[in-house]
Structure 1
Amino acid sequence: MYAEAQEAGDAVARQFQANADLVDDLVDRLRQRPPRFIVTCARGSSDHAATYGKYLFETQLGLVTASASPSVGSVYAVKPQLQDALFVAVSQSGKSPDLVRNAEIAKAAGAHVVALVNVTDSPLAQIADTVLGLHAGPETSVAATKSYLCSLAALLQLTARWSHEARLFDAVHALPDALREASRQDWSALVDGLVDARNLFVIGRGLGLGAAQEAALKFKETCGLHAEAFSSAEVKHGPMAIVGPGFPVLAFAQDDGTGDGTVAVAREFRQRGAPVWLAAPGIHGGDSLPLARSLHPAMTPLITVASFYKAVNALSVARGHNPDLPPHLNKVTETV
């Protein structure tokens, strides 16, 4: 897991180069026939990437983006009205039967199906109208790391070219080096603080919510540590009642309009006696966790997660677990 996470910068650079023409062709099509809305479909870490994609598409393109429940198509056999939609399926393996079935339904309904997959000859890729390979290379650790970051990077590259927003172009260009720098950040304070923990919250908001979801999953699968992810807004609607002395919180703040609110929630929890670690651009010292430089809020979740992966791998080992082989899990999960 550690070695694969460290490869993310190189993998993203490889992906950007390999997919440039494909993304431009897709963007030309989308400009000629603009979709009415976007639908994402994914599970696990890929669904956390899709959460990021939702906020990215809605904030940068102004296109309403919804998450499809795979069971609606695969179990309930419902065929949603997806004519003139962009259907984005995200899957490292491209083999899960429910995702494949939903892509078939979307295509038959008149949606343009885009597959973000690491295995470009997979069943999902064979159905898609456009295949954007993740180019992460082999990933043998059960816990996805570089393939998750490559999924986010593919969404970022597509959005930058579609939007023609100069700062997003700059972020895409800078991302590989930023990921390499992120993997060198020292988050040992988080590792030391969670060695004996049993529960925690991970909070984020907006573009950073998917990163919080991904972190909570990694705590569970690699560390045997129960973690729940919440929006820093939603956590105030009930869940925060259990936060107090001894209840740890990891907060991911964004360098956008959601950032102040997340920092304020972290501060409130710290005042209650909860151990709090905050990763926020521009905030240093105390219990804050260092971040590599971000050129755009859409870039921030990627460098945050890259630093987190190094820390959670170390925490897994410190807690006596094998981060590469979590119990009861397989690399490819095939749900129907």
Structure 2
Amino acid sequence: MFIEAAEAPALVAAQLAANADIVARAAEHLRRNLPTAALICGRGSSDNAGVFARYLIEGETGVLTSPAPLAVSSVYGRTPRIEGGVCLAISQSGKSPDLVAAATAAKAGGAFVIALVNVEGSPLSDVADLTIPLRAGPELSVAATKSFIASLTAIAHLVAEWTQDDALRAGLAALPAQLEAAWSQDWSAALPTLKAANNLYVVGRGGGFGAAREAALKLKETCGLHAEAFSTAEVRHGPMALVKTDFPVLMLAQSDVTREDAEDLASAFAARGAKVMLSGHPGDPRVISLPTTAGHPLLEPILLIQSFYGLAARLSVARGYDPDQPPYLNKVTETV
């Protein structure tokens, strides 16, 4: 896991270069045929990448974007009505039957299907109208790291070309070097709290909510921690009641308009006696600061999850786990 996460900067640079033509073609199609809606399909880490995609697509293009309830197609046999829409199907293996069924149904319902997949020539690629390869290469650890980052980068690349956003294009060009810097950030200040934890919240908002969900998933599968992900807004609606003395809260906040709200919430948690860890400099001495690497605000969640992966690999070993072989899990999960 640690070695594969460290490969992310090089693979992102290679992916952006190799995918330039295919992403340009996909973006041109989307500009000429503005989707009526966007449907996102994914499971596990790919579903978390889908959260990032929803915020980017809807926020930058205005196209209504929604996750696909995969069982509607794979279990209940229904076809969504999405004439003139686009379906983004995200997968490392491209083999999960429910994901393939959902993409097939979306296509039958009138959607243009784009597969973002690491294994070219997979069943998902066969269904899709167009495939954007993730190009993460073999990933031996059960816990996805570089393939998740490759998914986020491919999504951002597509949105940058779709919207012809020069600032986002420049941010992507700078991303490989920033990922190197993010990988070297020292988040060991969080280790004592997380090593002793049994439960915690992971909190983010916007594109950072996808990173928070991914972090919570990795804490479950590699560290044996019961971690729940919430947005900074949703956590105030009920879950806040559980945050009391010594309750751990890991907050992943990027430097956009959500940052001030995250800092206010971190202080509110700290006032209750919680052990709060926040990416960046909170300005509140009660909150543990986790150093970050600055980038384009829409891309900073990618940098945050890269720094987190280094922490998670170390934490897994510190808690007596093997991060490469989580119990009861397989690399490819074929759900129906």
Q: Same fold, TM exceeding 0.5?
A: yes
2 CA distance for matches of 1:94 and 1:64?
25
In structure 2, what residue type is equivalent to 1:130? L
Secondary structure in 2 matching 1:173? helix
Whether 2:148 is the aligned partner of 1:148: answer yes
What does residue 200 of structure 2 align with?
A: 200
Letter in 2 for 1:183: W
Q: Does 1:178 align with 2:178?
A: yes
Asked whether the 8 Å contact 1:104–1:127 carries over to 2, the reply is yes
Q: Could you list the structure 1 runs, at least 4 aligned residues long, displaced by more than 2 angstroms after superposition.
A: 280-286
Structure 2 residue aligned with 1:11: 11
Question: Among the aligned pairs, what percent are the same residue?
Answer: 51
The structural deviation recorded for 1:301 is 0.2
CA deviation profile, 1:247-272 (whole Å, cap 9, x unmatched): 10001112122111111111110111
1:288 counterpart letter in structure 2 = S
C-alpha distance in 2 between matches for 1:267 and 1:86: 41
Q: Deviations over 1:113-147 (max 9, x none)?
A: 00000001100011111100000011000000000
Question: Which residue does the alignment assign to 1:107?
Answer: 107
Question: 8 Å contact 1:284–1:290 — kept in the other structure?
Answer: no
Residue 88 (structure 1) aligned with residue 88 (structure 2): yes
The gaps in structure 1 that reach 5 residues or longer are none
Tell me, in whole angstroms, the C-alpha distance in 2 between the residues paired with 1:284 and 1:141.
Answer: 37
Any conservation in 1 of the 2:89–2:99 contact (CA below 8 Å)? yes
**Does 1:216 find its partner at 2:216?**
yes
1: distance between equivalents of 2:46 and 2:145?
Answer: 11
Structure 2 counterpart of 1:128? 128
Supply the distance in 2 between the matched residues of 1:93 and 1:52 (Cα, whole angstroms): 19
Task: Give the equivalent residue in structure 1 for 2:323.
Answer: 323
Alpha-carbon distance in 2 for matches of 1:166, 1:281: 29
Counterpart contact for 1:222–1:321, Cα < 8 Å: yes
Alpha-carbon spacing, 1:26–1:281, altered in 2? closer, same or farther (3 Å): farther
TM-score (norm. length: structure 2): 0.98
Q: Give the count of matched residue pairs.
A: 335
Gap runs ≥5 in structure 2: none
Q: How does 1:181-260 map to 2 (within 5 A)?
A: 181-260=181-260
- Contact 2:12–2:176 (Cα < 8 Å) also in 1: yes
Amino acid at match of 1:46: S
Q: Give the deviation of 1:284 after TM superposition.
A: 9.6
CA distance in 1, matches of 2:151, 2:13: 13
Instruction: Work out whether residues 253 and 281 of structure 1, in 8 Å CA contact, stay in contact via their aligned partners in 2.
Output: no
Please say if 1:289 is aligned against 2:311.
Answer: no
Aligned to 2:303: 303
Say whether the 8 Å CA contact 1:6–1:183 is kept in structure 2: yes
C-alpha displacement of 1:193: 1.8
Structure-1-length-normalised TM-score = 0.98
Deviations 1:309-336 (A, max 9, x none): 0001000000000000000000000000
Match for 1:102: what amino acid? Answer: A
Contact 1:281 1:293 survives alignment (8 Å): no
